[in-house]
Homo-oligomer: A and B are copies of this chain.
């Protein structure tokens, strides 16, 4: 039996009040689908205490884990705004550059244009003289029928994945794992081993 593929589980769970439990639940679910959730085991040395140095340490650790992972599953649920967590977007690009399989999921079933138009511009968008839809600040309202920015959806599509969308109870938007589970099932079916 081959070793299980290693998954980089990207997402903003570390910021949740119940972050540790949610991360452990994600890892357990990942194992149940035959994958190994990849984690940083440390280097023996204690991490630096100074905040900037500590941030660099975590960033380097995450990149090391990504290089050691076979695929990424990214939680793209909007975080502190209308788009996915920006650290997760960076990590998705990082894995896509290496050509590794990439999957995503979101607990907001709406597309980017719906969140932008409805949540950010409160419905106040208008076509300009050339027919381009713009918000009250003049910025273009792009609509590619995608979950988020085209680089996010495009990277996942090109690396063999899908983005699973779910509607969940509002109180569970950042920790419901139903969409992750569906995503793991699809990844298991699509990938070798």
Contact = CB atoms under 8 A, between A and B. Distances in A.
Contacts of A66: 97
Given A96-B94, A120-B80, A139 B56 contact: no
Nearest to A56: B154
Interface string A128-151: 100000100011101111101111
Contacts of A145: 51-52, 55
9 contacts: A17-B140, A58-B154, A59-B151, A59-B153, A59-B157, A80-B81, A80-B120, A87-B151, A93-B97
A85 B138 contact: no
Query: Assembly of this chain: how many copies?
Result: 2
Nearest to A57: B154
Interface residues of A, number: 56
Nearest to A138: B17
B83 A149 contact: no
A150 B55 contact: yes
B80 A150 contact: no
B148 A80 contact: no
A116 B154 contact: no
A92 interface: yes
Given A82-B80, A86-B152, A149-B85, A157 B56 contact: yes
Given A93-B97, A94-B96, A82 B85 contact: no
A62 B1 CA distance: 39
